[in-house]
Amino acid sequence: MVKLFAMSVLYKGPNDATLLKAAFELQSFGYFQRKSVQEFMGFVTKTIVERTASAARQSVKEKEYMCHVYVRADNLAGVLISDDEYPHRVAHTLLTKTLDEFSAKVPSHSWPKLNETQVTFNELNIMLAKYQNPKEADAMTKIQQDLDETKIILHNTIEAVLERGEKLDDLVAKSEGLSMQSKAFYKTAKKTNACCRM
C-alpha cells in the first residue's frame, strides 16, 4: 500500500521528547487492533525521536513499515510512519514542510512548556489526508531539491536505532504509554513474526 499512517510533531528536550501534536489514519487496520496499533506508533515515535541527534534525519524500516524522523537544529521534531511503498523522498519533504508550518503557527519559545492538549494545529490532520497521494507533493519541488538525500541515515530495524545495551523488549515492558493489552499484542506479534496478522 502507498499509505501514511501517522504524523507527529514533538519537542526534543534534554532528557526526553514531548508529543505536541499527532494525527492518525488507521482505517486499514481491524477494529480491535486500532487502539494497540495507535499506542504502538506513539511509542515508536517517541522512542526514535529521543534517539535521533539534533539536525539529523533518519529512516527506519520495520517489516512493511517505514518510520521517517527529522529533528531540526532547534529541537523541533517530526515523525512520519508510512508503508514502505510510500516514496521516502516525499516523506522527508513532507516532514520539512510540516515543521515549517508548525513553527509559523506556534511560537518557538513555548515549545518546551507545551503538551499535546494545549496545541491546536489541525493542519496536521489535513496534511495527512492530502498527502496520502504522493503526487500531491509535486508542488513542493523546491523543498525536494534542497533535500540532501545522502544525509538521511537508513536503518533496517528499530533495534538498530537503539543505544548500546538497550533492548526493544525492555523498552516496551517499561513503557507507560502502552496498555497491558498492547504489550500482550506486541509479544504475540513478535512470536508469530508478523506485526499485524495473527
Angle, in degrees to the nearest 10, between helices 180-192 and 34-50: 90
> 3-state SS of the chain: helix, strand, coil percent to 5?
45, 20, 30
DSSP assignment letter at 83:
E
Contact between 126 and another protein per CB under 8 A: no
Closer residue to another protein in complex, CB, 135/167: 135
Rounded to the nearest angstrom, the gap between the alpha carbon of residue 127 and the centroid of all alpha carbons in its chain is 14
When the beta carbons of 4 and 10 are compared against another protein, the nearer one is: 4
Q: Is-contact 182 40, C-beta < 8 A?
A: yes
**Best CA proximity match to 123, nearest among 147, 144, 88, 97:** 97
Site string for another protein, 50-79 (x = CB under 8 A): --------------x---------------
Q: In this chain, which stretch among 24-32, 40-48, 91-99, 152-160 interacts with another protein, using CB under 8 A?
A: 24-32
Closest CB to another protein among residues 85, 169: 85
- With CB under 8 A as the contact rule, the residue among 13, 181, 190, 194 that binds another protein is 181
Binding residues for another protein, rule: CB under 8 A, are 1-3, 28, 30-33, 36, 64, 85, 87, 133-135, 181, 184-185, 188, 197-198
